[in-house]
Structure 1
Amino acid sequence: MPNVGQRPGRRVFIETYGCQMNLADSELMGGVLSTRGYTAAPNHEEADVILINTCAVRERAEERVFGRLSYLLRFKNERPEVILGVTGCMAERLREVITERAPYVDLVIGPDAYRRLPELLEQCQESDADPVIDVKLDREETYKGLQPERRPGISGWVTVQRGCDKFCTFCIVPFVRGRERGVAPEEILAQCRDMAARGYKEVTLLGQTVNSYRHEDTDFADLLEEVVKIEGIERVRFTSPYPTDFTPKLIATMAKHDKICNYLHLPLQSGSDQTLETMKRLYTSEEFFKLVDDIRQAIPDIAMSTDIIVGFPGETDEDYQKTVDALERIRFDFGYLFKYSERDGTFASRKLPDTLDEATKGSRLAALIKRQEAISAEIFKGRIGSTVRVMVEGESRRDANDLCGRSDDFKMTVFPRPADRELKPGDFVNVRITDATSHTLLGEIID
C-alpha cells in the first residue's frame, strides 16, 4: 500500500457519480480532508489521492465505475504512491466485488465513514497488502459540525436527511445508506447562512424522502419556514419528497412563500395499484391523484416532474395502460422514465421474478417516453407569450451570444445576451417567452 500520511498540501481529486446526494457527499469529503491539510487537485494527473464517489441505484452505473477504475489504474502504474479509493453506495453494496475485480484499489468506504476519511487514508500506510475497508452503517451519523468544501457557484445543496425507512421492493438505498435520520435544524440553517454569505442564491434541501424529515419537534414545513428567512437566499428547492408524507401544512407553507420555487419532483413510479402494492409504495393511484389536485389547487402554476418504472415484475398490459392513463391525467412537465432493472440485494431481486422480456420493457418505455415528450412540448409551448423570472446561470452551450438560466418552475430558459449591460451568474431577469421546445424555453429580456 502507498505511504500517504497526512502531510500538508497533499492533493485529492474526487470524481462523483449518481444523484445530488452524492454530489453533496463529495463536497462533505472535500471539507473533511481540507481540515487535515489536503487540497483539491485540478485533475487526476496532479492528484495524490483519487476517490470515486459512487451510486448503486443502477447496474449500468456500477459497471461504468469498474471501467473507470481500470482507466485510473494507469495513474497508479505511473506513480505507485497514488491512493485510489471507492466511496459511497456502491462501496457499501459491493465491497467484496470491488476488491476482487479491482484488487489495486486501496480504500473502500461507505456513506457513513466520511468523518473518518483522514484516519482511513493514514491506515493505508500501515497495511502491506489488503485494502482499507470501512462500510459500517451508523444510525446516528448526520455529519454534525462538518463544513463541506463547496464548489463555486450560485446554487448548492444541503443534506437535511440521511437514509430511508420506506424499503420499496425495487430500491437498494435503505441497505446502502441505512435508516432515516434528520440533521439538526441549527446545523442546516448554519450551512444555508454560510452559503448565502458566500454568494449562493439558491439552495436545494436534500433527502431520500425529504418531506418525511423530522428532528425532535421540527418537521419539514417548520424547516422550510426557517430557511426562507435567510437573507441572500433567493430560491429554495427540495428533492425528493415521498407522496404519503405530504401534509396540508407543507402544501400551505409552499404556497405561502415566493422563495419556495414553483416546482416539485413527485415520484409516481406506476399508475397501477397492483404494481404500486407490489413495489410496496404506500399509496394508491387515486391517493396520488388527490395529492396532485390538492397541490395544484393551492399552487396553480406549479410545475411537476416524476419518476416512473415500466416493466416491473408482474406488470400486465392493463397495469402498463394505467400508467399511461396516469401520465395523461396528471400531465407532468417532464419525467424520468426507466425500464425495470433488477438490483441484487433488494426484496424484488429475492422474491419477485423478473418475468418480462427486455423487448416488452423496451417497447413500453419507448412509447411512454414518446407520449411524455409530446406532453412536455405542449406544456412548454403553452408558455409562449408569458414572462418568466430567470436566474442567470451562464453562457448557453449552443451559442456564445446567448445566456441561459432556470425559471422559477425549473425550466431551462435561453435568451440573447443583452448589449447594454453585463449579466453574471446569480442575476435575475424577466424573460418574455417567444418559442419553446419540449425541454427549453426561448425568449428575450424585457427589463
Structure 2
Amino acid sequence: MPEADGTLGKKVFIETYGCQMNLADSELMGGVLADTGYSSAESLEEADVILINTCAVRERAEDRVFGRLSHLLRFKNDKPELVLGVTGCMAEHLRDKITDQAPYVDLVIGPDAYRRLPALLDKATGEARDPVIDVKLDKAEVYEGLTPKRKPGVGGWVTVQRGCDKFCTFCIVPFVRGRERGVPPHEILRQVENLAERGYKEVTLLGQTVNSYRYEDVDFADLLEQIVPIEGIERIRFTSPYPTDFTPKLIETIARHDKICNYLHLPAQSGSNRMLDEMRRQYTREEYDQLVDDIRAAVPDIALSTDIIVGFPGETEEDFEQTMELMESTRFDFAYLFKYSERSNTYASRNLPDDIDEEVKGERLKKIIALQESISAEVFKSKVGGTYTVLVEGESRRDPNELCGRTGDFKTVVFPKADGRDIEAGDLVDVKVTDCTSHTLLGELA
C-alpha cells in the first residue's frame, strides 16, 4: 500500500491463510483500506490493525488460526488500542466460536463485507468493546469498481466468479461464500488491463468453479476470448475448473490460443464411482477419463494436476484402489492430496458418519503421496533435454546467482544467471533443462 495521504494514517497488517481466492481477497481489502488512508505495516509490531484472512475448507487451517490468534494477543497487551480482526471464510463459518474462544478479537467479518471494512474498523475502534460482527452473505456482491492493492510480481489474480452452486457433500464453500455470481466482463477486463499497464505479464482467473462462469450471455470461453487480445499479458491461467463444466467450445478455445497456458488443475477427488456419488461430484469416473482424453487430444502437451481425498465416509479398500488406478492411468504432473476432514454444516457431517479410522486414513494418504511422487519424478525426468520458454519470476531463494521462473505448464525452473545478459523478472527466456527433481526442473539458458 502507498503511504497514507488521507485522514487515518494508521497501519494495517494482513495475514492470509488458504487458497488463491483468499490471497486475492487480501489484496482487495488492502485496496479498500488504502483508498481510505491506511498504509501498510511492514511488521506486526508497527501495526495499528491486524487482520487474519482465513480459510474454512479444512479443520487444520482453523486450528492454525486459533493458535495464531493466541500468539497475537501479546500485541494487544502491548498496544491496547490495536484492532485485531478475523476475516474471510472462517469468520463466516465460526463466528460464535471465534468470539467465545478468542474474546479479545475486535472484528469478525465474512467474505461479502470487505466493501464496508473501513466503516467497520471505525466502529471497532470506538468506545464499544463488544466485537463488531458482519457476516451477512450478499448474493449480489462481486466488488465491482474496486481495485486490489497488489503485491509486486510478474503475475496477478483476478476474481471472475464468487460463490459456488455445486454443494459437494464434503465442502463448506457454498455456505461461507454463498451462491455463484459472475463478475461483469467489463470489470474483469478493466482489472486485467490494469495488470498489464502495471507491467504484470501473467493473469490467473479465479473462481470456485471458474469454468462455470456466466454473465448474461457471456460464458467462460467467451471471457477468455476477450482477455487474449490484451497487450502486455503474455500468459493466461485459471483455477479451479469443474469437470462437468468443460465444454467442447472451451477446450477448443484453450487449444487455439497460445496465451492460454497448457496447464489445467482438474479436481477428481476420487477414482471410485461410489465415492463420487456420495460426494455429489456430478460426474462418473468414466466421464472424467473421457474429459482427460478429450483435453489431451486437443492439447497434447497439456499438464494436469488434481485434488484427491482419501478416507471419505464409507471408503472401502476397493474404492481406494480405484483412486490409485485413476492416478496411475491419468499420470498427473502433480497433485494436492488430503485425508478427509469433516466440516460442520456440510451434508456429509450431518448424514455420513466419519467411519474411517484415522490410522487407515493416514496409511492411504501415505500410499497416494508415494505413488504421486514416483509419477511426478518420471514426468519431470521426461522434460530433461528439452528447451522450454520460462517466465522469469526473480532470483532463486537458494542462490542469488540463480534465477527461477515457470514454464507454460506450471513447472518451476531454476537456472544460473548468464554473463553479459541482463535478465529481469517478467522476461520470457528459453531454458534447456539439464536435470530435475520430482518438483523442480534445473537448466541453463539456451
Tell me the TM-score normalized by structure 1. Answer: 0.98
* 1:91 equivalent in alignment to 2:95: no
Q: Distance in 2 between matches of 1:92 and 1:8?
A: 28
Question: What is the aligned residue count?
Answer: 441
* 1:76 equivalent in alignment to 2:76: yes
* 1:138 equivalent in alignment to 2:131: no
Query: Which amino acid counterpart does residue 289 of structure 1 have in structure 2?
Result: D
Identity of aligned residues (%): 71
Query: Which amino acid counterpart does residue 79 of structure 2 have in structure 1?
Result: R
**3-state SS of the aligned residue for 1:80?**
coil
1:230 corresponds to: 230
**3-state SS of the aligned residue for 2:122?**
helix
Residue ranges of structure 2 left out of the alignment (5+ in a row) = 1-5
Residue ranges of structure 1 left out of the alignment (5+ in a row) = 1-5
* 1:388 equivalent in alignment to 2:388: yes
**3-state SS of the aligned residue for 1:153?**
coil
1:316 corresponds to: 316
2:215 corresponds to: 215
What is the aligned-residue RMSD (CA, Å)?
A: 0.9
1:263 corresponds to: 263
Q: Distance in 2 between matches of 1:394 and 1:7?
A: 36
Give the superposition deviation at 1:401: 1.8
Q: Distance in 2 between matches of 1:7 and 1:106?
A: 21
Q: Distance in 1 between matches of 2:9 and 2:42?
A: 13
Q: Distance in 2 between matches of 1:331 and 1:68?
A: 37
Q: Distance in 2 between matches of 1:12 and 1:273?
A: 48
Q: Distance in 1 between matches of 2:342 and 2:380?
A: 34
Give the superposition deviation at 1:193: 0.3
**3-state SS of the aligned residue for 1:65?**
helix
Q: Distance in 2 between matches of 1:288 and 1:125?
A: 52
Q: Any residues of structure 2 matched to 1:110-121 within 5 Å, and which?
A: 110-121=110-121
Q: Which moved more, 1:133-142 or 1:340-349?
A: 340-349
Q: Which moved more, 1:416-425 or 1:112-121?
A: 416-425
Query: Which amino acid counterpart does residue 153 of structure 1 have in structure 2?
Result: G
Instruction: State whether residues 243 and 266 of structure 2, in contact with CA within 8 Å, keep that contact through their aligned partners in structure 1.
Output: yes
2:289 corresponds to: 289
1:181 corresponds to: 181
1:3 corresponds to: none
Q: Distance in 1 between matches of 2:7 and 2:292?
A: 54
* 1:370 equivalent in alignment to 2:361: no
**3-state SS of the aligned residue for 1:314?**
coil
Give the superposition deviation at 1:248: 0.3
Q: Any residues of structure 2 matched to 1:286-435 within 5 Å, and which?
A: 286-435=286-435
After superposition, what is the alpha-carbon deviation per residue over 1:239-291, rounded to whole angstroms, capped at 9, x for unaligned?
00000000000000000100000000000000000000000000000000000
* 1:159 equivalent in alignment to 2:159: yes
Instruction: State whether residues 165 and 179 of structure 2, in contact with CA within 8 Å, keep that contact through their aligned partners in structure 1.
Output: yes
**3-state SS of the aligned residue for 1:435?**
strand
Give the superposition deviation at 1:126: 4.0
Q: Distance in 1 between matches of 2:241 and 2:125?
A: 43
**3-state SS of the aligned residue for 1:7?**
coil
Instruction: State whether residues 435 and 441 of structure 2, in contact with CA within 8 Å, keep that contact through their aligned partners in structure 1.
Output: yes
1:199 corresponds to: 199
1:445 corresponds to: 445
After superposition, what is the alpha-carbon deviation per residue over 1:275-328, rounded to whole angstroms, capped at 9, x for unaligned?
000000000000000000000000000000000001100111110010011111
After superposition, what is the alpha-carbon deviation per residue over 1:352-371, rounded to whole angstroms, capped at 9, x for unaligned?
00111011111111111111
Instruction: State whether residues 337 and 365 of structure 2, in contact with CA within 8 Å, keep that contact through their aligned partners in structure 1.
Output: yes
Q: Which moved more, 1:415-424 or 1:270-279?
A: 415-424
After superposition, what is the alpha-carbon deviation per residue over 1:90-130, rounded to whole angstroms, capped at 9, x for unaligned?
00000000001111100000000000001111112445221
After superposition, what is the alpha-carbon deviation per residue over 1:35-91, rounded to whole angstroms, capped at 9, x for unaligned?
111111111111111100000011111111111111111111111111100000000
Q: Distance in 2 between matches of 1:87 and 1:140?
A: 19
Give the superposition deviation at 1:184: 0.3
Q: Which moved more, 1:197-206 or 1:123-132?
A: 123-132
Q: Distance in 1 between matches of 2:276 and 2:227?
A: 34
Instruction: State whether residues 81 and 125 of structure 2, in contact with CA within 8 Å, keep that contact through their aligned partners in structure 1.
Output: no
2:3 corresponds to: none
Q: Distance in 2 between matches of 1:171 and 1:72?
A: 29
**3-state SS of the aligned residue for 2:259?**
coil
Q: Distance in 2 between matches of 1:8 and 1:355?
A: 53
